[in-house]
Amino acid sequence: MINAGIIGASGYTGGELMRLFLNHPEVNIVAATSRKLAGKPVSGTHRHLKGFLDLKFQDLGPGEARESCDVAFLAVPHGAAMDIVPELLGGDLKVIDLSADYRLKPDAFKEAYGFEHRDPRDAVYGLVELHPEVAEQSFIANPGCYPTGASLAAAPLAKAGMISSVIFDSKSGVTGAGIAPTETSHYPNMAENVQAYKLTTHRHVAEFTQELNRLDNSLTNISFTPHVVPAIRGILTTAHVFTKDKMSTDDVRTLYEDMYRNKPFVRVLDGLPSLGSVRGSNFCDIGFEADKRNNRVVVVSAIDNLVKGASGQAIQNMNLMFGLDEKLGLWNAAAAP
């Protein structure tokens, strides 16, 4: 059995890690930390876990984590992980960081986040379908939610060198903004609404760029505009791709089926994806259509932002890091409708 600790377990990704671990045959949750809620029962915050977990939140130091855990998941705010990771690494403990801290190369990080990285260390970017080398790592930077859906939507076209420019227009559920109530998440503001934000400046674009450039380093024309939609979970990403040559939908299908043939969590559809068909699951569903008149392909991907966009992908990484089947504990269908 793998002893897992969750550093920063009071938020949505922490809760989702625990929900998923409950059905993982090889994992014990040994610690769930929260400074603020230390001593309080985990099921007081994550009430759906009542009856499954007797755990209380702790305030666990790095030393204790290294002693009691085989793997630590960091579900802390951006900027906090870089102060914790150096104290966790170096021994036997495997670490999966769900924050943004180690996803970008130091220069790209500074540009996106506006300050110098305090622990400029290499990490493998844990987008499993694009990074088979995950299996050998002890430290993984788990991808952002938008970058997961966007990168998977565009990767086969990028790898084929077909992309001239791409605009990602993403529609995210409200849990993407976290567990704390805000003006945007206030039901009367969010219901029956669609809210665009950070039209040209969302930091996640740096992640797509880095990933897509690994597949095609000549590709620079990448844009991204996120929106919040009235959904609890899920991200639908519409990738508007201008291609170098004209393609048919069948041409596109060949590229996607080839790339994702042995990737169990990517489903290349005949039709178009829906958030309902991935809700609560670790799938990324993808559909597309080539424009008959122009050098243009539209690709749509759907993920659950808390599963494939965060905690599920983190467990998929863990499975591979420990030599397990990547599907272990994750092979569930969406609770649709």
CB of 46 to a second copy, least distance (A): 7
- Are 34 and 42 contacting, i.e. CB atoms less than 8 angstroms apart? no
- Are 265 and 284 contacting, i.e. CB atoms less than 8 angstroms apart? yes
**How many C-beta neighbours within 10 Å does residue 270 have?**
6
Q: Which residues within the stretch 298-327 sit at the binding site for a second copy (CB under 8 A)? A: 298, 300
Cβ proximity to a second copy: between 137 and 277 the closer is: 277
Strands lying side by side in the sheet with 71-74: 27-33, 2-7, 71-74, 94-97, 139-141, 124-125
- Chain centre to alpha carbon of residue 132: 16
Say which amino acid occupies 219. L
38 part of the interface to a second copy, by CB under 8 A: no
Cβ proximity to a second copy: between 182 and 218 the closer is: 182
110 part of the interface to a second copy, by CB under 8 A: no
Indicate which single residue of 22, 40, 77, 120 sits in contact with a second copy (rule: CB under 8 A).
Answer: 22
Closest CA to 112 of 214, 206, 8: 206
Q: Which residues within the stretch 223-242 sit at the binding site for a second copy (CB under 8 A)? A: 223, 225, 227, 229-234, 236, 238, 240
Cβ proximity to a second copy: between 93 and 275 the closer is: 275
Indicate which single residue of 87, 133, 136, 289 sits in contact with a second copy (rule: CB under 8 A).
Answer: 289
Q: Which of 141, 145, 229, 328 is catalytic?
A: 145
189 part of the interface to a second copy, by CB under 8 A: yes
Indicate which single residue of 281, 305, 316, 319 sits in contact with a second copy (rule: CB under 8 A).
Answer: 281
CB of 48 to a second copy, least distance (A): 4
Indicate which single residue of 9, 49, 219, 324 sits in contact with a second copy (rule: CB under 8 A).
Answer: 49
Contact segment (CB under 8 A) with a second copy among 67-75, 127-135, 166-174, 207-215 equals 166-174
7: enclosing H helix or E strand: strand 2-7
Indicate which single residue of 10, 274, 282, 311 sits in contact with a second copy (rule: CB under 8 A).
Answer: 274
Closest CA to 101 of 88, 115, 89, 91: 115
Residue 257 to residue 321: CA distance in whole angstroms: 26
56 part of the interface to a second copy, by CB under 8 A: no
113 part of the interface to a second copy, by CB under 8 A: no
CB of 2 to a second copy, least distance (A): 19
Residue 259 to residue 57: CA distance in whole angstroms: 42
Crossing angle, helix 249-260 and helix 145-159, to 10 degrees? 110
Crossing angle, helix 12-21 and helix 312-321, to 10 degrees? 50
Supply angle C-alpha 198, 201, 204, rounded to 5: 100
52 part of the interface to a second copy, by CB under 8 A: yes
Indicate which single residue of 46, 103, 117, 253 sits in contact with a second copy (rule: CB under 8 A).
Answer: 46
Cβ proximity to a second copy: between 132 and 181 the closer is: 181
HEC per residue, 51-87: CCCCCECECCCHHHHHHHCCEEEECCCCCCHHHHHHH
Residue 145 bears catalytic tag? yes
CB of 236 to a second copy, least distance (A): 4
332 part of the interface to a second copy, by CB under 8 A: yes
Contact segment (CB under 8 A) with a second copy among 32-40, 61-69, 272-280, 308-316 equals 272-280
Strand, coil or helix: 266: strand
Q: Would you name the residues annotated as active-site residues?
A: 145
